[in-house]
Amino acid sequence: MTTVWIDFEQSHLYFPRIIVGLLLAMALLMMVRFLPAKIQRFRSGQRPVFFQNKSSWKMVGGAVFLLWLYIVGMGVIGAFFPNRGFGFLIASIFFMLASTFLFMGERTRKKVLIGVINALVTPVLAWLVFGQAFHITLP
Amino acid sequence: MEWLQIVSPTFFVLLVIGVLGGIIFGAIPGMTATMAVAVFLPVTYAFEIQDALALLIGLYVGGISGGLVPAILLNIPGTPSSITTTFDGYPMAQRGEGATALRIGVTASLIGGLISFAILAFCAPVLADFAIQFSYVEKFLLILFALTVIAALSKGSMLAGIFSGTLGILISLMGTYSISVGGNGRMRLVPELLAPTLRNGFSLLPVLIGLFAIATMLKEAENGMEDPPMDGVDLTAKAGFDRRLWFEQLGNLLRSSIIGTFVGMLPGVGGSAASILSYSQAKNLSRKGDAMGTGEPTGLIASEAANNGLTGGALIPLLSLGIPGDSTTAVLIGAFTLHGIQAGPLFIGNHPETWTGILTALFFANIFMFLAMFFSIKVLAKIIRIPKYILYPIIAVMCVVGAYATNYGVMFDIWTIFIFGLFGYLGVKVGLQVPPLIIGFILGRSAETYFVKSLESFGTFSIFFTKSPIAMILWGLIALSAFISVRNSRRQKREVEHGDD
């Protein structure tokens, strides 16, 4: 009863099928256990809280967008200068400037100055140390 | 003096840099030791494995220790493992004994670290010798055991913990069933469109960097990166250092360090579980237990000795079985892979110099951590003020370098940190748990190989029960941890119900 025979040609699917089966079973179990209570709470007017305060979705959304733009930009700029790491260098400076201002909140002259210096110095340093001294490939 | 031949000036310089960097990461709330190790990984590409590990272990020890600074001074745990440090540390700081509290915490950390170092040096080789006899059957059961332990001790819902671990396994299986482990070399779980890029699945390091660094950045963006408040902390009072205290606390110190080490050994269970368990034990067993929570050194010592005890403990299953003890050691597996070293039962025997290097690094990391923190209280109080809008952009750039270097310049690896950063951030919101997910992801492919190969060679499921006495012992342990997890979740439920009354 416990004997098994695994067809080698299909063996790449054997374990994944078990895992997918387990996941589906657990998902079902969780739905049965938690969903009714959730629906009841929703009906009684309690809405799930996704963000702690209202303005925070702008910060998160902004961070996600900047990261996306950073990665795309790196590839696009890097294509003009293959294997020199300039895509990384240029995109990093812009990304750091933008994200520093996004995260900064209230702006003062001192905070802005430190942020700008950081955004200029860090990518150059990283490019020099990793790209030039350590010979790590950069986009 | 065998170890002297292995270490070099570079080794010590990197160790000191690691410890200092780790303390900074640990001291800034929201940034953890795991993140420190993930962010610094690219730096280690250029070094020999020993030197690379010196840096990473320094970061690990520094990162775990640094968390006590904001815990004591601001009532904000710098890392999850210093939550219980706030209970007694902050009341002490409010009484004007901040400097004393910091020194007590640092000393307890040192002793916790050294005790766990001794246990690691003794236990790992013994466990590895034992594990060498394991066949695929026992190895599969060991992974199953590791996953049930995670579920048993997971913080939220137990079912969500197991689900996360299984999901981690599924993600690890994406790509080809590699011929090098006896597979048929065919693709699975990957859409046609992504087949060329995901031929070997997601790479470990970008996944880790995404889950631990980028997801944390998004979480912090949500919380807002305003400067932490710095009110009512007075460090001008002279720090007393009472020797009698340490004689009184010897039992507590030993017990907490050992609890920390053994909790560390359990896979996927991090420092917060270690310090919470040791804190509650101290409350039950110590004569001053009743005063704990009001600024009593006993609680501070219990918490800090335990979370540093974790460091040596978490390395034990990593170096002897290839199973990471917590999320930071999971990232260390990445560093091993990078240098072409396989963590597992053969590690200590095959790489004695790396093993000695790790022990040396761990020992001196604790000493340097102590020296750096004990004598620079005022500087530490400033570190926690480094603004996050400066730090997180730097971290994001470091993450990109690290991800891109993983496979010597694959753009998809950078997309991986983005995907998993987003996945980690959103996943936690719907109840997924990152530590089990990561352990599942790391062990998933091995689990598959061991499971399928066992069945292919023996042709029966019963082999998992009858192969050897070790297999039966492992089933006993699996049953035990399943029992504990059911009991715990019942108890939690009851407490919640009582709370609602």
Average pLDDT for A82-105: 92
What are the CA-CA distances from residue B266 to residues B33, B162, B271, B314 (Å)?
18, 15, 11, 7
Report chain B residues whose CB lies below 8 A from the CB of A134.
43, 45-46
Confidence of residue B2 (pLDDT cuts 50, 70, 90): low
User: Å from A49 to nearest chain B CA?
Assistant: 10
Question: Residue-wise over B161-184: b if at least 16 C-beta within 10 A, else e?
Answer: bbbbbbbbbbbbbbbbbbeeeebe
| Nearest chain B CA: its distance from A40 CA (Å) | 17
Work out the pLDDT band at B500, boundaries 50, 70, 90. Answer: very low
Q: Which residue of A has its CA nearest to B445?
A: A15
**pLDDT digit string, tens, across residues B4-36:** 777 789 999 999 999 999 999 998 887 888 889
Using a CB-CB cut-off of 8 Å, the residues of chain A touching B189 are 16
User: Tokens 């996360």, residue?
Assistant: B164
Contact B425 A60 (CB under 8 A): yes
Name residue B114's amino acid. Answer: L
Neighbours of B153 (CB within 10 A): 23
CB contact under 8 A, A64 and B226: no
pLDDT tens digits for B177-216?
989 888 888 999 999 888 888 988 998 889 988 998 999 8
Residues 6+ apart with CB under 8 A from B399: B38, B39, B209, B210, B213, B214, B417
pTM of the model: 0.88
The per-residue pLDDT for range B328-343, each reduced to its tens digit, is: 898 888 888 888 888 8
Cα angle value A105/B83/B166 (rounded, 5°): 90
Question: What is the interface size between A and B, counted as CB pairs within 8 Å?
Answer: 172
- pLDDT tens, B93-142? 888 888 999 999 999 999 999 999 999 999 999 999 999 889 999 999 99
Contact yes or no for B401 and A138 at CB 8 A: yes
Q: Does B401 contact A at CB distance below 8 Å?
A: yes
Instruction: Return left, alpha or beta for B96; rule: phi > 0 is left, psi -120 to 50 is alpha, else beta.
Output: left
Do A9 and B177 touch, CB atoms closer than 8 A? no
Q: What is the DSSP letter of B386?
A: S
- The nearest CA of chain A is from the CA of B252 a distance in Å of 39
- B 56-95 near A (Cβ less than 8 A): none
Residues B214-236: pLDDT tens digits?
998 999 898 877 666 555 466 66
Q: Which residues 145-174 of B are in CB contact (within 8 Å) with A?
A: 159-160, 162-163, 166-167, 169-170, 173
pLDDT in tens, B263-295: 888 876 777 788 888 998 898 888 888 888 889
Nearest residue in A to B158, CA atom: A30
Chain A residues with CB inside 8 Å of B400's CB? 70-71, 74, 88, 92, 139
Amino acid at B43: V
Strand partners of residue A3: B460
Residue of chain A with shortest Cα separation from B222: A56
- Write down the pLDDT at residue B491: 76
